[in-house]
A and B are shown apart, each in its own frame.
Chain A
């Protein structure tokens, strides 16, 4: 697994405390085996072993004498890159999980259990109980409810497993329908929304698709992967040079609601605690939906086209209530 970029002291301490019992269970083990097992670099294993071998307890003399320290077979370590623990101090078993560590795994399991192929509810429930017992405190109350991502996920997973393309009708955020052929690579969810990331053959590029905008999803027999050697960027969305800048006015406190659109201060603040911010959007048709969905908190100042589109969108929405009586069907 990934060792992560910035490892703090807590990661390093956890590694030391975990490495000792592992080494105890293995009479002699190579640095490379340990590195592979823990998913870390061989250098990190060597550093840790060096530190462990020099560590111990103050002891009765409070002088950290030889018998109060861990020891290893130094020749084996320095010559053959093998680790043999020859003397142990203080610890002899794996540490418990913290409340938050247990909670992270439990919430992860809850999330997985809502997916179709992890439907073994009993196995997951027993695993959660084990984690709870293995934690040094009551696991943090972070709870993930089951969601119903629908059959799309099962289909996409089947396509990934078979290494084939999928095809579907995609409704773009501009409102256009297009048939897409995609090499599926990964499914991610952000809060309530599910996304498919993969190589889009129509665009010839890596693309992110919302699952709820797909229809007619079908697994094909066309092999995937020929042109999609690139790796996935870690961010779901990248800003684009073609993004449009829009100036909006809103209460200062509401600026965080627009965090996805990189708000920047745009000119002097208006009266009544209102501020002007410029945000970046892919197109004005997306903007009008965002603004209409913020219950009047945000007003578009410019450009004029964006302002007019937003007004017309809301006006057309409001007008529907003039024409219809509740209970009527639309013609």
Chain B
């Protein structure tokens, strides 16, 4: 193996990216775009000296994004004697920021826990990230026992908006989407600076700044009914670490402050399922058919309770009572016409 032959054969994507990373780590002062395109494996084969390299330049822009996406700190350095010049921008990857900090190490037990944590994302969103994180962990050469697979708790994110939202959040991009607010019949377009995505009480929430209201809002991912698009040119400065915990604390406080009291039909679906969420209230002895529930959003709980039909009766708060009754009446009246003849025998099957 003396030199890589200069043949114009196709260089694979990973070879080009790998070569680019190596070249940018090896350089102290950085490489200009022209230097990269003319010398680095995968580009140089397609570089036209003195010619038009527009498509190669676009390739380089995409590669830069892909590399940064993997957490590799690809930096742009402005030349001190010529600030603002695009032409003489230099690119490099500072080794100290590329490498794992020297004082970080993981024990075999910790590694096992991390492997289990990675398997939590079974499919879709963040499963690719977990997989790559595991590959990086494996490079440390720590041997660990595999976690017990018979019991593998997994998290599935069904909401299609999760992926574009979390990406926009990392990039500080403002997004727009159609949002069908619980309790409303028509969606409205929202423009939001996404700050955190939070799983609370089993539901994914987006926490962010509503650009039109200029205030913090919480959205349910399941109620985003159209594609999430980025607003061209609209960016914001992400709030940084702690935004997620802040959002969670707010939701928690809300959840604790709201309490609904409901009567459930013994033995029914509502009784079996809702009683598992029974709020623990000191000094209060709920009867068998009474359930107290904490909640964050009255309309969401009203939707759920209306689904139980006659199996539940809301006692309090009265706003919830009204909301559930209004929903039931709406559904009843929407189905009110026709089919009167065959009903009688079908009733009373519960």
Contact = CB atoms under 8 A, between A and B. Distances in A.
Interface of A: 1-4, 8-22, 25-26, 37-39, 51-58, 62-66, 69, 71, 74, 89-109, 111-112, 115, 118, 123-124, 127, 130, 132-145, 147, 150, 153, 156-157, 160-161, 171, 173, 175, 177, 185-193, 212-213, 215, 234, 236, 251, 253-257, 259-260, 288-297, 299-300, 304-305, 307-321, 324, 326-327, 329-330
Given A107-B126, A192-B201, A321 B321 contact: yes
Given A22-B138, A65-B3, A96-B71, A111 B153 contact: yes
Name the residue among B104, B134, B299, B346 with the largest chain A CB count within 10 angstroms. Answer: B134
A113 B12 CA distance: 41
B200 interface: yes
Given A93-B100, A130-B104, A69 B329 contact: no
B118 A145 contact: no
Given A1-B134, A142-B166, A192-B203, A10 B244 contact: no
Given A101-B71, A134-B101, A161-B151, 19 more contacts: A2-B131, A17-B136, A20-B139, A55-B18, A64-B4, A97-B136, A98-B71, A135-B71, A139-B241, A141-B247, A143-B198, A186-B150, A191-B157, A254-B187, A293-B307, A314-B330, A320-B313, A326-B316, A329-B263
Contacts of A140: 166, 169-170, 197
Contacts of A173: 269
Contact of A143 (B72, B122, B129, B245): B245
B116 interface: yes
Nearest to A150: B276
B309 A317 contact: yes
Nearest to A321: B325
A253 B226 CA distance: 7
Contacts of B54: none
Contacts of A98: 69-72, 129, 132
B170 A100 contact: yes
B3 A63 contact: yes
Interface in B299-316: 299, 302-304, 306-313, 315-316
Contacts of B236: none
B254 interface: no
Nearest to B40: A58
B102 to A, nearest CB: 8
Contacts of B185: 251, 296-297
Given A295-B306, A312-B347, A111 B138 contact: no
B214 to A, nearest CB: 20
B117 A147 contact: no
Nearest to A58: B39
A319 B313 CA distance: 10
Contact of B268 (A37, A95, A175, A187): A175
A134 to B, nearest CB: 5
B240 interface: yes
Interface string B183-223: 10111000000011111111110000000000000000011
A8 B70 CA distance: 12
A130 B110 CA distance: 11
28 contacts: A4-B127, A51-B12, A56-B22, A57-B19, A58-B44, A62-B39, A100-B129, A104-B129, A109-B117, A138-B240, A140-B169, A141-B243, A142-B126, A145-B198, A150-B276, A160-B150, A192-B203, A256-B225, A257-B222, A292-B307, A295-B327, A308-B342, A310-B335, A316-B309, A320-B313, A326-B316, A329-B263, A329-B287
Interface in B1-60: 1-4, 12-15, 17-19, 21-23, 25-26, 38-41, 44
Name the residue among B101, B126, B303, B321 with the largest chain A CB count within 10 angstroms. Answer: B126
B78 interface: no
B339 A97 contact: no
A318 B70 contact: no
Contacts of B134: 1, 39
B92 to A, nearest CB: 12
A26 B141 contact: yes
A69 B4 CA distance: 9
B66 interface: yes
Name the residue among B203, B247, B307 with the largest chain A CB count within 10 angstroms. Answer: B307
B135 A213 contact: no
B187 A11 contact: no
Contacts of A234: 123
Contact of A312 (B132, B312, B343): B343
Name the residue among A100, A212, A295 with the largest chain B CB count within 10 angstroms. Answer: A295
A251 B18 CA distance: 49
Nearest to A101: B133
Contacts of A1: 115, 118-119, 131, 134, 146
Name the residue among A58, A115, A118 with the largest chain B CB count within 10 angstroms. Answer: A58
B76 interface: no
B120 interface: yes
B73 A136 contact: yes
B208 to A, nearest CB: 10
Given A22-B138, A112-B120, A289-B309, A105 B196 contact: no
Contacts of B136: 14, 17-18, 94-97, 101
B260 to A, nearest CB: 12
A171 B269 contact: yes
B99 A147 contact: no
Contacts of A145: 198-201, 248, 251-252
Contacts of B231: none
A170 B154 CA distance: 22
B253 interface: no
Given A9-B17, A96-B98, A318-B325, A142 B197 contact: yes
Contacts of B167: 100
A296 B198 contact: no
